[in-house]
Amino acid sequence: MGKVIGIDLGTTNSCVAVIDGGDPVVIPNSEGSRTTPSMVGFTDGDERFVGLQAKRQGIINAERTIYGIKRLMGRKYRSDEIARLKELLPYRLVENVNGDAWVTINGKNYSPQEISAQILRKMKSTAEDFFGEEILEAVITVPAYFDDAQRQATKDAGRIAGLTVRRIINEPTAAALAYGYQNRKDARVAVFDLGGGTFDISILELHDGVFEVISTSGDNDLGGDDFDRVILEHLIKRFEEESGVDVSEDKMALQRLREAAESAKCELSTLSETNINLPFLAVDDSGPQHFSMNFQRSLLNDLCYDLIERLEVPCRQALDDAGLNAADIDEVILVGGMTRMPAVQERVVELFGKTPNKGVNPDEVVAIGAAIQSGIIDGEIKEVVLLDVTPMSLGIRVENDGFSAIIPKNTSIPTRVSKTFTTTRDNQELVTVAVHQGEQRKASRNRLLGLFNLTGLPSSPAGVPRIEVSFDIDTDGIVNVTAVDTRTGQSQSIEVTGHSGLSDEELERAVSRNA
């Protein structure tokens, strides 16, 4: 049987690891780096390259250099939201009929899953070069707060890349697996995961090789990209004040400023001040315009204050859902590159009352955890048991657009839960069961996963029928929903496997196009 690899498909960087000789090993890519920029570059002749080579061409070929694609996978956008994205990103986006944001390169449209598949293919080839054999299976990590459609989109990306995705595992859970596998001690841990595109916080209990997730919360719109953006906006404004030139529509200048913003942010994790120096940033009637400024950590903290404040609510929510106080947490594990920012670490100390554990590499720990999960699946690791939870509530739409949760968020999976409902009109012959996922009281504000009709109800007054709706969710997050009229035994069911935004035909076409 071939190797099952573990992949951390990150917003900014990706990483691949595997169990080799009983131990997790991070595999370096062909450039010798243990992480790979999650960037895909195209030439005008449709040649593609991934990682460092794509990042290098970002300035001179910004429109054909794709980054941050993870944020677009499996998500629906309103037209005004896509218009806003078009303003922020150097590459072209197009809205398809389903409200998905696709990338346009050289006149061809690519789904976010296809772009992500290029990154996964790079991880796959990295592992194949390491072992000298074909790799066909993988465990891939996702943010804990990814919904059903985003998880399915990740699985579809794996399929397009030529991988069978054996398991989707939450990133904080993977990090806790890596931490616990190395430390082998009982503990109650909080995994604080602030990466390039998302923020997750999960509370876990580690005991005798059992890793049990108690609660999880997060913000899918908070990550390093947002920190980069507020710095970028400041630099654009500062340059215009000094030179009188607005470069907000100059894609090459924007890309140079964007890279300078990211570099300054990283440097200020260890320095109190750095210098941004960009000669020939623009040209106007008076000649070339250069940009230079000293950038202090204090200014960075001021610019990012609102973003850092947004970390509190998910942390409080996760603790409340777990029924715990900050004092009950033994260790706080930092995951994701943004946790290197001193202001973020200070906020963690304020929230949890303790210095976070820095004993794991925040860039590699998630991939290591994914590899451990692959070892569990493969039978190579036998002394570890993982008990995860569903990150969002699952339920159905009821009268007046209400949402009735049947499986509340943070319920351990696998699980089966039933709830009894009735009709709202006299002589109602059918009921429509609409399955939703989310935390809003109105069903229409939650994600619709699927719907089906239960027909053949006998004529009776409203409120008389007894309809039992059962949700059954397995460890892979596959949901089966069944509705039964308890008086007649009439039943109907649906398997909710998630809809990533790609039709079966589009998925098959993507597989063929990327083979």
Q: Which residues are catalytic?
A: 8, 70, 171, 193
Nearest CA-CA partner of 403 in 371, 437, 427, 362:
437
What CA–CA distance (Å, rounded) separates 291 from 229?
18
Query: Is the distance from CB of 474 to CB of 497 less than 8 angstroms?
Result: no
3-state SS, 118-168, equals: HHHHHHHHHHHHHHCCCCCEEEEEECCCCCHHHHHHHHHHHHHCCCEEEEE
Query: Is the distance from CB of 214 to CB of 196 less than 8 angstroms?
Result: no
Q: 251-267 vs 224-243: helix axis angle to the nearest 10?
A: 120
Beta strands 331-335 and 187-194, pairing class: parallel
Measured between its terminal Cα atoms, the distance across the chain in Å is 23
What CA–CA distance (Å, rounded) separates 153 from 136?
18
> Percentages helix, strand, coil for the chain, rounded to the nearest 5?
35, 35, 35
Cis peptide before 414 (omega within 30 of 0): yes
How far from the centroid of its chain's Cα atoms is residue 201's Cα?
13
What CA–CA distance (Å, rounded) separates 208 from 293?
54
1 contacts: CB under 8 Å, gap ≥ 6? 378
User: How many H helices and E strands in the chain?
Assistant: 13, 28
Query: Is the distance from CB of 154 to CB of 116 less than 8 angstroms?
Result: yes
In this structure, what token pair is assigned to residue 51?
A: 């990682």
The b-or-e profile of 165-201 (16+ CB within 10 A means b, else e) is bbbbbbbbbbbbbbbbbeeeeebbbbbbbbbbbbbbb
Query: Is the distance from CB of 336 to CB of 196 less than 8 angstroms?
Result: yes
Helix (H, G, I), strand (E, B) or coil at 330: coil
- Amino acid identity for residue 175 in this structure: A
- Amino acid identity for residue 218 in this structure: G
